[in-house]
Amino acid sequence: MRRAVYPGSFDPVTLGHLDIIGRAARLVDELIVGVLVNSAKTPLFSVEERVSMLAEVTKDIPNVRVEAFSGLSVDFAKECSARMIVRGLRAITDFEYELQMAQTNRIMAEDIDTLFLTTNLKYAYLSSTTVKEVAFYGGDISHFVPETVIGPVFRRMAERKQKGKF
Ligand code: ADP
């Protein structure tokens, strides 16, 4: 069984993430998308909400499941009996950080490899942060996130603005 994990914050899931998920799923028997609980930043969505949005947008890919996890990606991979960690590489700025993480993970767990998929050019400059910034100012995010995610992003933004949390 060739199994991989794809860890990240997914706050919220973007079309860039979805592109990586679809392509990675074709390379393995099972892909487990791991949604990180203990993100350093205060997320826009709770981990349960992020898991449920990801489950919805990946429901047509049979060999993908979505789980929450906390702690190290290598530990999550081990728990899932996965030998690969999938990461997406966007612009050059991702490269140094991702290389550092991959080397560190390799020292911690030498039997787990990191598999990098280069982004689809369409999404090379897309990040969850950009989506939140555009949505904050009421911009069109339909080119950036799956359709089912648009409503929740704007609703949460409106709630946050009302509470004066921005
Ligand atoms: P993290 O907080 O760990 O960076 P993210 O949710 O931002 O988590 O991203 C998870 C993974 O998806 C990372 O490997 C990141 O490089 C990749 N990724 C994010 N956006 C894109 C994109 N537009 N195209 C390809 N890969 C992406």
Residue nearest to atom 21 of ligand 1 (CA): 16
Task: Quick: pLDDT tens for 5-42.
Answer: 999 999 999 999 999 999 999 999 999 999 999 756 78
Q: 89 labelled as ligand-binding? A: yes
Residue-wise pLDDT tens digits, 49-83: 999 999 999 999 999 999 999 999 999 999 999 99
Q: What's residue 166's pLDDT?
A: 63
Write the single-letter amino acid at 32. I
User: Residue 39's pLDDT is what?
Assistant: 59
Tell which residue, 72, 79, 90, has the closest CA to residue 32: 79
Amino acid letter, residue 98: E
> What is the best residue among 14, 19, 20, 33 to mutate for testing ligand 1's pocket, by most ligand atoms within 8 Å of CB?
20
For ligand 1, whether the C-beta of 88 sits within 6 Å is yes
Please, are residues 91 and 121 in contact by the beta-carbon 8 Å criterion? no
Q: Judge whether 121 is annotated as a binding position.
A: no
Question: 89-140: per-residue pLDDT in tens?
Answer: 997 778 889 999 999 999 999 999 999 999 899 999 899 999 999 999 999 9
Q: Is the CB of 83 under 6 A from ligand 1?
A: no
| Active site (catalytic) residues | 17, 41, 90, 128
CA distances (Å), origin 111, targets 83, 85, 142: 7, 11, 40
- Indicate whether residue 123 lines ligand 1 (CB < 6 A): yes
CA distance 80 to 85: 11
Distance, CA 13 to ligand 1 centroid (Å)? Answer: 9
Residue 138 CA to residue 145 CA, distance in Å, equals 14
